[in-house]
Amino acid sequence: LKARMIVDKSFRISEIDERIYGSFIEHLGRAVYGGIYDPGHPTADEHGFRNDVKQLIRDLRVPIVRYPGGNFVSGYDWEDGVGPVEDRPKRLELAWRTLEPNYVGTNEFMRWAKDAGTDVMMAVNLGTRGIDAARNLVEYCNHPGGSRYSDLRKQHGFAEPHKIKMWCLGNEMDGPWQIGHKTAEEYGRLALETGKAMRLIDPSIELVSCGSSSTGMPTFPSWEAETLDHTYEVADFISLHQYYGNRDNDSANYLARGMDMDHFIHTVISTTDFIKAKKRSKKTMKLSFDEWNVWYHSNEADAKIDRNPWSVAPPQLEDVYNFEDALLVGSMLMTFLRRADRVKSACLAQLVNVIAPIMTEDGGRAWKQTIYYPYLHASVYGRGVSLKPVVDSPKYDAKDYTDVPYLDTAVVHNEEEDTLTIFALNRHLTEALDLTCDVRSFEGYAIEEHIVLENDDLKAVNTADSEKVAPHNKGASELKDGVVTGRLAKASWNVIRLR
Ligand code: AHR
């Protein structure tokens, strides 16, 4: 099996916005309590946050974390989570039917994020609340002082404003499961008026208007068109959410899901550009793919969780990821890179314990799931300019897709560091793919390493005790006369790094 590609410095798609390597922490399951926060843990810092988890997040160089939800935010009163912890109420949390103790709230999370080296993308509640709660939260977080809510923040021990730049106007408001679910018309009006008020307090913030919860929603893509008719001028981003699973155990089809994601992005771009034209607007809407991942392994276990009595942090959505999931995650990351001109933000949902690359044992070890690795590689090596590779690859037909290229690839040129990175997935399940890549315009470059994530078992998983799926850097590739030749093992994720 052979594939060829050409890469050239001048085939620029766009500068990559590093926020495409964002992630997400929701008050859900063991993400906060027992995940990032565990005061009794041997590595806990003075505020109760686990240092071992923080370190894994720093290693990933996560640029931004969405918080506090998710479905959770649509029933959340942010005031419950600030002020003296002993005075905070315990609340029945309706999205996931748990008990929310409010030990962690806005200020604690902001302090944690700073420590973990990441920014925060804050979501406001447009389910049970609206303009008033949202504008007060912006005042509390971003206003320097001398007003009711900014002074309240100071009184709570945070003298400096948090300066949160990116704000989500609600979450998945198109979904009937959402608390306070709305029609497109209802949401569009509310999001516009809320965004206006928030921006009057802090004109420097960026706002995300809710798009569809998935391509499968019956209102997709008219939801986008109808809501943007209201929010186009106030919003900077529209959100996209999508999760995949291999429920029918058809791996060839599963590994082609990136094509579905690409089509989703394409449709949202077309829809937003239609509204741009309709409004004679000069602004081009950016895309925030602020929930994406594999999510299906834990569905059955979750259905069995006893919700009576209401409990704090039950183990919900704890997918254990296998090797093929890591391949798909790599493919999804490459999809963002190839759409780097419009996708300017994305959040791997989520970060710790809940459909996450990082897992923790209660009071014990933190460990890396299979999907940790493609995420790490993309985040660390995928910064700079995304280049458009010209690809000639053999193809296959799968159940839901035709003409799926065996070679899935994205290329990044980091001009400052003088590096070129070729990300490449071989989708063939049984055969290696011989790759030839013309890199003639990168004179003087040499191969630094060829990282490979491979495994004979597509279903291999990692645990706290054994890391069966981990990368090595013994990939076989060489560079001669401006051409890289390399062998991509069957079903493998590859990162070929040149400098
Ligand atoms: O990430 C898990 C959930 O998926 C989020 O709470 C919700 O927004 C989405 O449906």
Give residue-wise pLDDT tens across range 110-119.
999 999 999 9
Please, which pLDDT band fits residue 407 given cuts at 50, 70 and 90?
very high
pLDDT score for 198: 98
Q: Report the nearest atom of ligand 1 relative to the CA of 291.
A: 1
Decide if pLDDT at 146 tops 80.
yes
Q: Which residues line ligand 1 (CB under 6 A)?
A: 26, 69-71, 171-172, 213, 291, 349-350
CB 279 within 8 A of CB 233: yes
pLDDT digits (tens, 9 = 90+) for 220-278: 999 999 999 999 999 999 999 999 999 999 999 999 999 999 999 999 999 999 999 99
Q: Report the nearest atom of ligand 1 relative to the CA of 213.
A: 10
In percent, how much of the chain has pLDDT > 70?
Answer: 100
Candidate from 172, 181, 208 with most ligand 1 atoms within 8 A of CB, to mutate: 172
Catalytic residues: 172, 291
Please, which pLDDT band fits residue 309 given cuts at 50, 70 and 90?
confident
pLDDT digits (tens, 9 = 90+) for 341-369: 999 999 999 999 999 999 999 999 999 99
Tell me which residue has its CA closest to atom 1 in ligand 1. Answer: 349
Q: Report the nearest atom of ligand 1 relative to the CA of 26.
A: 6
Q: What is the token pair recorded at 443?
A: 């004179």
Cα four-point dihedral sign 229, 234, 237, 239: negative
Predicted TM-score (pTM) of the model is 0.98
Q: Establish whether the linkage from the previous residue to 242 is cis, with ω within 30° of 0.
A: no
- Going from the Cα of 273 to the center of ligand 1, the distance in angstroms, rounded, reads 27
Tell me which residue has its CA closest to atom 9 in ligand 1. Answer: 70
DSSP secondary structure string for all residues of 226-294: HHHHHHTTT-SEEEEEEEE--TT--HHHHTTHHHHHHHHHHHHHHHHHHHHHHTT-SPPPEEEEEEEEE
d(C-alpha 360, C-alpha 93), whole Å? 23
Candidate from 23, 24, 25, 26 with most ligand 1 atoms within 8 A of CB, to mutate: 26
pLDDT score for 363: 93
Q: Report the nearest atom of ligand 1 relative to the CA of 241.
A: 9
Decide if pLDDT at 89 tops 90.
yes
Residues 6+ apart with CB under 8 A from 375: 21, 60, 329, 333, 348, 357
Tell me which residue has its CA closest to atom 3 in ligand 1. Answer: 70
Helices 257-278 + 323-338 axis angle, to 10? 30
d(C-alpha 414, C-alpha 336), whole Å? 17
Tell me which residue has its CA closest to atom 8 in ligand 1. Answer: 70
**Burial class, 438, CB count within 10 angstroms (exposed 0-12 / middle 13-18 / buried 19+):** middle
- Going from the Cα of 189 to the center of ligand 1, the distance in angstroms, rounded, reads 23
How confident is the model over 383-393, as a mean pLDDT? 98
